[in-house]
Amino acid sequence: MQDITKNNFDFIRVLLAFIVFLGHLGTLSNSPDLKIFEYSPIEIAVFGFFAVSGFLIARSYERSSSLKSYLKKRIRRIVPAYLLVIFLCAILLSLVSTYSFTEYFSNTQVYKYLFWNSLFLNFKAPWLPGVFGNQAVNGALWTLKIEMCYYFAVPLLFLLFGKKNKYRNISLIILYFLSLIYLNYFESLNKISLAKQLPGTLSYFIPGMLIYFNFDKFIKHKNIIFIIALATVWIDLYLNIQLFSPMMIGVIVMYIAYSFKFLNNFGKYGDFTYGIYIFHFPIIRTFQTLGLFEDYNPFVMALVCMLVVIAVGVSSWHFYEKRFL
């Protein structure tokens, strides 16, 4: 049977991060030439991240010696770099603010931003004074609040639906459909921000857990499961609801993770995905604010922006993130 540690998760996370980057590049650059990148499937990429989390967080919890050890590992992975991007944005973006240095740092909004964002409550203070037209500094961070909720939800889910529970699979499937009811209800009311909170996004997380719990069976039948997943997505498209697509995304992501063995060593130089994800949004907005996409060839600037994002992601990993792990 296939070794669970031999996988392509490093490749998948980098791929998903760049899908998100391209989508935000098309939206935030305000360049007609780059508008084509708006079609990059950001939402599917984010939900793919959630499916990966369902698998890896469940595995992390089961392999941990205690709840304390598990939480320490999870928090060290996400919190230090998250706080770094919050504080760097609050300080460095003063350089592109329309406020003077004194006006900027005497404005209470700076400290509201630091306080609420440090608590993962980005929606309470998403902007900084005079920065990006007082628009959201880092719209990508909303997923980190969900990720933290997953970290605390997994021990509870294990307690209720762990490996010793013979009704584990059916219980998680019921929870999956309850999550979908929540998701589809609020989407039908056009309350998208509510739909994407934890009860709704749990439908993308649970498939990863289910596949982890039934890993050997999944590997044995992965080809036929993959084909079924591709076929059933048309049902969701026809009915215009989310019923099978969250499960399908999980299946496709896990299929890629345990196929194409030549991608197994993709992350041997480090895990740069998190840095790329949390820093790309304000970097794109800074390029746009400075008029770089407008004053120069937008495709060249898009490439330069991408290289800057990669460089920041690599630096974040080597000089900061891995010190906490």
What is the per-residue pLDDT for 270?
A: 81
More confident of the two residues 3 and 145? 145
CA angle 306, 295, 20 (to 5 degrees): 25
Rounded-to-integer distance, Cα 148 and Cα 122, Å: 13
What is the per-residue pLDDT for 164?
A: 66
What is the per-residue pLDDT for 163?
A: 60
Does position 36 have pLDDT exceeding 90, yes or no? yes
Residue 171 DSSP SS3: helix
Does position 144 have pLDDT exceeding 90, yes or no? yes
Q: Are 53 and 147 in contact (CB under 8 A)?
A: yes
Does position 12 have pLDDT exceeding 80, yes or no? yes
Residue 3 resides in a domain: no
For residue 321, give every residue at least 6 positions away whose Cβ sits within 8 Å of its Cβ, in sequence order, or none.
77, 80, 81, 271, 274, 275
Give the model's confidence band at 312: pLDDT under 50 very low, under 70 low, under 90 confident, else very high: very high
Number of domains in the chain: 1
Look over the chain and give the mean of its residue pLDDT values, rounded to a whole number. 92
**Model confidence over 117-127: pLDDT tens digits?**
999 999 999 99
Does position 161 have pLDDT exceeding 80, yes or no? no
What is the per-residue pLDDT for 1?
A: 63
Does position 316 have pLDDT exceeding 80, yes or no? yes
Q: Which alpha helices (DSSP H) does 93-214 contain, by range?
A: 101-105, 108-118, 142-161, 168-188, 192-195, 198-213
Position 10: which residue type?
D
**Model confidence over 79-104: pLDDT tens digits?**
999 999 999 999 999 999 999 999 99
For residue 50, give every residue at least 6 positions away whose Cβ sits within 8 Å of its Cβ, in sequence order, or none.
143, 146, 150, 201, 204, 205, 208
Instruction: Tell me which of 1-10, 47-56, 131-140, 252-261 is least confident.
Output: 1-10
Residue 39 resides in a domain: yes
In percent, the amount of the chain with pLDDT more than 90 equals 78
What is the per-residue pLDDT for 24?
A: 97
Q: Are 172 and 161 in contact (CB under 8 A)?
A: yes
Residue 1 resides in a domain: no
Does position 162 have pLDDT exceeding 70, yes or no? no
What is the per-residue pLDDT for 263?
A: 84
Q: Are 168 and 162 in contact (CB under 8 A)?
A: yes
- Structural domain including 85 reads 8-323
Residue 294 resides in a domain: yes
Does position 321 have pLDDT exceeding 90, yes or no? yes
Residue 2 resides in a domain: no
**Model confidence over 39-61: pLDDT tens digits?**
999 999 999 999 999 999 999 99
